[in-house]
Amino acid sequence: MMTIRGTGIGESAAIGRLFWLAPVREGGAAVPVGSPAEEEARFLAAADAAQKELRALYEESRTTVGEEAAQIFAVHAMIAADEDFTELVLARIGTGESAENAVIEAAQTLAERFRAMDDEYLRARAGDFTDIAARLCDQLTGRESVRDLPDNSDPIIIAAHDLTPSQTVGLDRKRIAGFVTAAGSPGSHTAILARSMNLPALVGMGANDVLSVLDGRQVMLDAAAGELIVDPDSIKIAECRARMQAEQEAARVRSALRDLPAETCSGRRIRLGANIGLPREAAEAAALGADGVGLMRSEFLYLGAKQPPGEEEQLAAYRAAAEALGNQPLIIRTLDIGADKQVDYLNLAKEENPALGLRAIRLCLCGDRALFRTQLRAICRAAGERAAAGAAGQIAVMFPMITSPHELDDALDELYAVQAALDREGREIDPDLSVGMMIEIPAAALMAEQFAPKCAFFSVGSNDLTQYTLAVDRQNAAVAPLAAGAHPAVLSLIARTARAIHAEGGWCGLCGELAADPSMTQTLLDLGIDEFSVSPAHLLKIKEKIRSCT
Ligand code: PEP
Ligand code: MG
Answer yes or no: is the C-beta of 509 below 6 A from any ligand 1 atom.
no
Closest CA to 459 of 320, 299, 324, 275: 275
pTM, to two decimals: 0.65
pLDDT tens sequence across 212-259:
778 889 999 999 889 999 999 999 899 888 988 887 888 778 888 999
pLDDT of residue 542: 95
Instruction: Kindly report the CATH number assigned to the domain that includes residue 364.
Output: 3.20.20.60
Centre of ligand 2 to C-alpha 314, Å, is 21
Are 529 and 410 part of one and the same domain?
yes
On the question of pLDDT at 27 being above 50, the answer is no
Rounded to 5 degrees, φ, ψ at 359 are -130, 155
pLDDT of residue 192: 62
Last residue of a domain, one of 218, 252, 286: 252
Last residue of a domain, one of 234, 252, 270: 252
Q: Which residues lie below 8 Å from residue 444, measured CB to CB, with a gap of 6+?
A: 402, 403, 437, 451
In a domain, 148, yes or no: no
Centre of ligand 2 to C-alpha 198, Å, is 27
Are 210 and 302 part of one and the same domain?
no
Model confidence at 18, pLDDT cuts 50, 70, 90, reads very high
- H helices within 292-341, ranges in order? 311-324
Cα dihedral: 230, 236, 237, 239 (round 10): -140
- Lowest-pLDDT range of 140-144, 176-180, 233-237, 270-274: 140-144
State the average pLDDT over residues 162-179.
81
Closest approach atom of ligand 1 to CA 400: 6
pLDDT of residue 453: 98
Are 378 and 483 part of one and the same domain?
yes
Closest CA to 100 of 49, 31, 35: 31
In a domain, 88, yes or no: yes
113 compared with 468, residue with greater pLDDT:
468
pLDDT of residue 31: 64
Domain that holds residue 463: 256-546
Tell me the C-alpha distance between 392 and 312, whole Å: 20
pLDDT of residue 54: 85
pLDDT of residue 444: 98
Are 126 and 175 part of one and the same domain?
no
Tell me the C-alpha distance between 242 and 246, whole Å: 6
Instruction: Kindly report the CATH number assigned to the domain that includes residue 172.
Output: 3.50.30.10
Ligand 1: residue whose CA is nearest its atom 3: 461
Centre of ligand 2 to C-alpha 523, Å, is 21
Ligand 1: residue whose CA is nearest its atom 1: 461
In a domain, 218, yes or no: yes
Hey, which residues does 457 pair with through a beta bridge? Answer: 436, 507
Answer yes or no: is the C-beta of 299 below 6 A from any ligand 1 atom.
no
Q: 322: left (phi > 0), else alpha (psi -120 to 50), else beta? A: alpha
In a domain, 469, yes or no: yes
Answer yes or no: is the C-beta of 439 below 6 A from any ligand 1 atom.
no
In a domain, 9, yes or no: no
Tell me the C-alpha distance between 463 and 110, whole Å: 26
Instruction: Kindly report the CATH number assigned to the domain that includes residue 134.
Output: 1.10.274.10
pLDDT tens sequence across 473-526:
876 656 767 877 889 999 999 999 999 999 999 999 999 989 999 999 999 999
Closest approach atom of ligand 1 to CA 467: 2
Are 238 and 264 part of one and the same domain?
no
Tell me the C-alpha distance between 313 and 336, whole Å: 18
Cα dihedral: 511, 517, 518, 523 (round 10): -70
Q: Which residues lie below 8 Å from residue 413, measured CB to CB, with a gap of 6+?
A: none
Are 396 and 508 part of one and the same domain?
yes
Q: Which residues lie below 8 Å from residue 343, measured CB to CB, with a gap of 6+?
A: 302, 303, 305, 337
Last residue of a domain, one of 252, 271, 303: 252
On the question of pLDDT at 144 being above 60, the answer is no
Q: Which residues lie below 8 Å from residue 518, measured CB to CB, with a gap of 6+?
A: 541, 542, 544, 545
Are 189 and 284 part of one and the same domain?
no
Are 185 and 45 part of one and the same domain?
no
On the question of pLDDT at 303 being above 90, the answer is no
- Lowest-pLDDT range of 120-124, 177-181, 294-298, 389-393: 120-124
pLDDT tens sequence across 98-137:
898 899 889 988 888 888 887 777 776 777 887 788 888 8
In a domain, 146, yes or no: no
pLDDT of residue 196: 61
Are 354 and 366 part of one and the same domain?
yes
How many other C-beta atoms are found inside a 10 Å radius of the C-beta of residue 218?
16
Report the domain count for the chain.
3
Report how far Cα 111 is from the mean position of its chain's Cα atoms.
Answer: 16
Are 423 and 327 part of one and the same domain?
yes
Write down the mean pLDDT value for the chain: 87
Are 308 and 451 part of one and the same domain?
yes
Q: 89: left (phi > 0), else alpha (psi -120 to 50), else beta? A: alpha
324 neighbors 283 (Cβ within 8 angstroms) = yes
pLDDT tens sequence across 51-102:
888 888 777 767 655 666 677 778 888 888 888 899 999 999 999 888 988 9
pLDDT of residue 264: 97
Are 234 and 266 part of one and the same domain?
no
In a domain, 515, yes or no: yes
Q: At what angle do helices 99-115 and 126-141 cross, to 10 degrees?
A: 170
Answer yes or no: is the C-beta of 336 below 6 A from any ligand 1 atom.
yes
Model confidence at 145, pLDDT cuts 50, 70, 90, reads very low
- Lowest-pLDDT range of 143-147, 270-274, 528-532: 143-147
State the average pLDDT over residues 139-145.
66
State the average pLDDT over residues 438-457.
98
Ligand 1: residue whose CA is nearest its atom 6: 461
Look up residue 150 and give its DSSP letter: P
- For the chain, how many helices (H) and strands (E)? 21, 16
